[in-house]
Amino acid sequence: SGQKQTHGFQAEVKQLLQLMIHSLYSNKEIFLRELVSNASDAADKLRFLALSDSSLYENDGELRVRISFDEKARTLTISDNGIGMDEAEVISHLGTIAKSGTKEFFSKLSGDQSKDSKLIGQFGVGFYSAFIVADKVTVRTRKAGLAADSAVEWESSGEGDYSLAPIVKNERGTEITLHLREGEDEFLSRWKIESTVTKYSDHISIPVEMWEEGTEAREEDGETIAATPGHWKAVNKATALWTRDKSDISDEEYQEFYKHISHDWSEPLSWSHNKVEGNSNYTSLLYVPKKAPFDMWNREAKHGLKLYVQRVFIMDDAEQFMPSYLRFIKGVLDSSDLPLNVSREILQDNKVSQSLRKGCSSRALKMLEKLAKDPEQYQSFWNEFGQVLKEGPAEDHNNKEQIAALLRFASTQNEGSEQNVALADYVARMKEGQDDIYFLVADSFEAAKHSPHLEVFRKKGIEVLLLSDRIDEWLVQHLPEFDGKKLRSVAKGGLDLSKLDDEETKQAQQKTEEAFATVAERFKAALGDQVKDVKVSHRLTDSPACVVTDEYDMSTQMIKLMESAGQ
C-alpha cells in the first residue's frame, strides 16, 4: 500500500445505487438520517468494546456526531468519534452488500424501475444514500486503537468504482464529506440541516451537534453583555428513545426509531413499548414490520433484538429473546439484570435470558392480538408473516392456545383463497351437534377446494378449513385441538357425521350399505394389495369414489412430503 488504488464496486452495489438515486429523489433528505444513524451505531460499537478496553477512548469519551457545511466548497460533512473502520472494513462495508442471499435477490429484479425500487427498500437505504445528493463522497476514517497514520481515505462518484488511499488522521472515527450535486444547495443551510435532524434523528442517543458562532461583548441599555465563545451545540434530544416516557414519544419518533434499528425504509405496522420492574428489570420496544424481508426463509439470515444492558449497546441480532416463529419481530431490549460482559454464549444458557425470552414472546403475542382487533391491518400482517407464525404451535407449547387464536385460514365459507378465518370464527359457526373442527390439506388451494372429500360437508352445510401451505401438515400435527374441539382431517377414515343426521337419513344410509356390500367386496378383490379396505361411504354426493387414509395413518400429503424429502 502507500498509494492510491482503485477498486470496482460489487455488481449489486452498482444496481442498488442506480435504483436508489432514482426512486428516492423525492425524499432525498433521508441521506442525513442514514449517515447519522451509522454514526450512532459506530458510537454504540465503540462504547461496547471500551467496556473491556477503555484505552480505546484515547481520552475522548464524549461520543457525538457533528455536522458542518462549507458554502463556498459546496460540501456537507458529518463526522463522528465512534469506532471507525480499518482498510479491510472500508472495502467490505463501503464496496459490497454483506447480506446473505443478496445475489439471488438482485438476480430476481425485473428491470422495471418502479417495481424494483419498492423491493429494494428491503435492503435499507444506508450509506449509499449519500449519492442521492452528492456526486462525490469522501470518507476519511480511522479505527479506534490504530495509529494516526493507519487511517484510510475512500472516495467515489457513485458510478463503477471507488479509490482508497492511506492517510494520517489524528482523531479517531469517521468523517464523511458530501460534494453536493448541482442544485442541492438547500443542504448548505443551518435551518435545513437542523430541521432534518429534528425530523428524523431526534431519537438518536448521542448528541448531534452543529457549530454555534460566538458573540462579541456588547453594550445594551447601559449594561455590558459578556462575549460568548463559539461552541458545538446539540440539535437533537440525545436520550435513548426507549428510556423516555411513552406519553412523551410521538408516533413519528417511534417510526423513525424503527427505521434506525431495522434498516428498513418503510414504517412499521405496529409497536409495543414496555417497562418491567420487579423480579425482572427491563425495557422492551418491539415492532411488527410492514413487509417481510427478502431473506425471511434464509436459514443464515440474521434476526433478533438489539440488546442493551443498562443503556449500553451489547449486540445486534440477539436471537435468544425471540423464538424462531417470531423472527420477523424487530426491536430493542434493555436489561438491568444481565452483566455488561454478557456474550452470545452466556445468553444461550442463562436463567435471566430465559425469562426475558418468555417476557418478550408474550409481549409480541399480545401486540399481535391487539393488531388482530383491526381485521384489515391484521390481514396485511397475516399475508406477510402468517406462514412463519404457523411454526408457532410446534415450537412454543406454552403459548399454543394464544398462537392458535392468531392463526387464519382459507375456508369453504369463503369464495376466494384469502386466509382470513380465525378458529374462533369457525367455532362460533359450528352446526348443532358438530363437535370437531374440520380441515383439509392439499397441494394447492384449487386442489383443496375441488376435493371430493368436501362433498358431504357441503351437503350438510359444515364449514371446512382449506389448508395448502407447505407448513400446514406440520401445523395440524402440533395443533390437535382448539377451544376444547378436536381438529380433524376430512381425508382420514373414521369420520362420523351421523350425529348431524336425522333418523330418516340414517335408515336410508343403512339400506344403501346393505345393498352395496357385495359391490364393495368385488372392488376389494379386484384391487387386492393396493388398498387396505373398500367401504361404502356417505361422504360423497357427486363423485363415485375417493381414496382416504386410516385415522392414524400418514396422510397422503405427508407421504408426498416424505417422498420429496427422499425418505
Window 244 to 263, contacts with ligand ADP (CB under 6 A):
263
The yes or no reply on residue 467 touching ligand ADP (CB under 6 A) is no
Which of ligand ADP, Mg ion, none is residue 284 near (CB under 5 to 8 Å by kind)? none
Is residue 38 a contact residue for ligand ADP (CB under 6 A)? yes
Of 75, 102, 156, 174, the one binding ligand ADP (CB under 6 A) is: 174
For residue 308, the surrounding DSSP H or E stretch is strand 305-309
Quick one: cell of 281?
428489570
Provide the minimum distance between the beta carbon of 98 and ligand ADP in the complex, in angstroms, as a whole number.
Answer: 8
Q: Confirm if 500 and 524 have CB atoms less than 8 A apart.
A: no
For residue 261, which of 361, 332, 364 has the smallest C-alpha distance?
Answer: 332
Q: Using CA atoms, how far apart are residues 75 and 71, in angstroms rounded to an integer?
A: 7
- Shortest separation between residue 470's beta carbon and Mg ion, angstroms: 34
* 85 binds, options Mg ion, ligand ADP, none, Cβ within 5 to 8 A by partner type: ligand ADP
Which residues have CB under 8 Å from 182's CB, separation 6+?
135
Closest distance of CB 265 from Mg ion, Å: 11
Q: Is 474 in the site for ligand ADP (CB under 6 A)?
A: no
165 within 8 A of 153, measured Cβ to Cβ:
yes
Nearer to ligand ADP, 42 or 285 (CB): 42
Verify binding: residue 289, ligand ADP, rule CB under 6 A.
no
| Least distance from Mg ion to the Cβ atom of residue 44, Å | 12
Angle at 148 between CA 145 and CA 151, to 5 degrees: 90
CB 453 within 8 A of CB 416: no
Q: Shortest Cβ distance from residue 131 to Mg ion (Å)? A: 14
Find, among 474, 494, 471, the residue nearest to 552 by Cα: 494
* Nearer of residues 94 and 464 to Mg ion, judged by Cβ: 94
Query: Residues in contact with Mg ion, total (CB under 5 A)?
Result: 2
Contact 185, 164 (CB under 8 A): no
Binding segment for ligand ADP among 24-32, 38-46, 252-260, 546-554 (CB under 6 A)? 38-46
Closest CA to 173 of 51, 50, 98, 86: 86
CB of 129 to Mg ion, least distance (A): 9
Residue among 34 and 391 whose Cβ is closer to Mg ion: 34
Total residues contacting ligand ADP by CB under 6 A comes to 15
* Closer by beta carbon to ligand ADP, 209 or else 391: 209
**Of residues 261 and 421, the one with the C-beta less far from Mg ion:** 261
Q: How far is the CB of 80 from ligand ADP (least distance, A)?
A: 5
Residue type, 19: L
Q: CB–CB of 197/66 below 8 Å?
A: no
- Residue carrying the nine cell digits 452528492: 134
| Shorter beta-carbon distance to ligand ADP: residue 35 or 442 | 35
- Give the one residue of 12, 29, 34, 295 binding ligand ADP; rule: CB under 6 A: 34
Report in angstroms how near the CB of residue 416 gets to ligand ADP at its nearest: 38
Site for ligand ADP in 514-533 (CB under 6 A): none
* Nearer residue to Mg ion within complex by CB, 262 or 355: 262
Q: Interface with Mg ion by CB under 5 A: which range of 119-127, 290-298, 328-336, 374-382?
A: 119-127
The DSSP result for 520-565, as a single string, is HHHHHHHHGGG-S-----SS-SSSS----B-TTSPPHHHHHHHHHT
Length of the chain measured in residues = 567
Per-residue contact track with ligand ADP, 50 to 89, x per CB under 6 A?
------------------------------x-xxxx----
Nearer to Mg ion, 154 or 382 (CB): 154
- Residue 36 or 466 with smaller CB distance to ligand ADP: 36
Task: Assign residue 503 a region (left: φ > 0; alpha: ψ between -120 and 50; beta: otherwise).
Answer: alpha
- Confirm or reject binding of residue 548 to ligand ADP (CB under 6 A): no
Q: Which of residues 125-144 bind Mg ion (CB under 5 A)?
A: 126
Q: For the CA atoms of 391, 397, 399, 403, what is the dihedral angle to 10 degrees?
A: 30
Q: Which does 42 bind (CB under 5 to 8 A by kind): ligand ADP, Mg ion, none?
A: ligand ADP
Strands 312-318 and 410-411, how do they pair? unpaired
- Please state the closest distance from residue 31 (CB atom) to Mg ion, in A: 11
H helix intervals, 51-130: 87-93, 102-107, 113-120
Whether residue 144 contacts residue 53, with contact meaning beta carbons closer than 8 Å, is answered with no
82 is an interface residue for Mg ion by CB under 5 A = no
Least spacing, CB of residue 41 vs Mg ion, in Å: 6
> Is 365 near ligand ADP (CB under 6 A)?
no
- Cβ(306)–Cβ(313) below 8 Å: yes
Residue from 328, 273, 280 nearest 304 by CA: 328
The residue with its CB nearest to ligand ADP is: 126
Closer residue to Mg ion, CB minimum distance, 126 or 323: 126
| Residue closer to ligand ADP (CB basis): 82 or 289 | 82
42 is a site residue for ligand ADP (CB under 6 A): yes
* From candidates 12, 13, 38, 40, binder to Mg ion by CB under 5 A: 38
User: Which DSSP string corresponds to 384-429?
Assistant: HHHHHHTTHHHH-GGGHHHHHHH--BEETTSSS----B-HHHHHHT
Asked whether the beta carbons of 342 and 314 are under 8 A apart, the reply is yes
Cβ at position 88, least distance to ligand ADP in Å: 11
Q: Are 306 and 263 in contact (CB under 8 A)?
A: no
Within 108-127, the residues that bind ligand ADP by CB under 6 A are 124, 126-127
Sites of contact with ligand ADP (CB under 6 A) = 34, 38-39, 42, 80, 82-85, 93, 124, 126-127, 174, 263
Sites of contact with Mg ion (CB under 5 A) = 38, 126
